[in-house]
Amino acid sequence: MDDCLIQSDPSVMMGKPVVAGTRVTVELILDKLAAGETHDQLLQAHPRLTEEAIRAALDFAARALHADVIYPVVETAK
């Protein structure tokens, strides 16, 4: 995976990881995919995105979760 596709710069989107050359954050890509949008819908909504950039965002998120961090799961009342 091309690590250069995802960048973080404090002067762009408050330093959140973005697709290089855009203001499209990894967070936005994940949110939209989790909400049920398809890759094609993402590409149509954000013309500067590529399929490779979407895969790079997913790879970045997966690698971030591999860190030795415990994420507490809070159960909500139903």
* Residue 19, pLDDT above cutoff 60: yes
Give the span between the Cα atoms of 54 and 33, in whole angstroms: 10
Band (pLDDT 50/70/90 cuts) for residue 30 is very high
Domains of the chain (ranges; CATH) run: 3-65 (1.10.10.10)
* Residue 1, pLDDT above cutoff 70: no
* Residue 38 CB contacts under 8 Å (≥ 6 apart), including other chains: none
Q: Tell me what pLDDT residue 65 has.
A: 86
Model pTM score = 0.82
Work out the percent of the chain whose per-residue pLDDT is above 70.
88
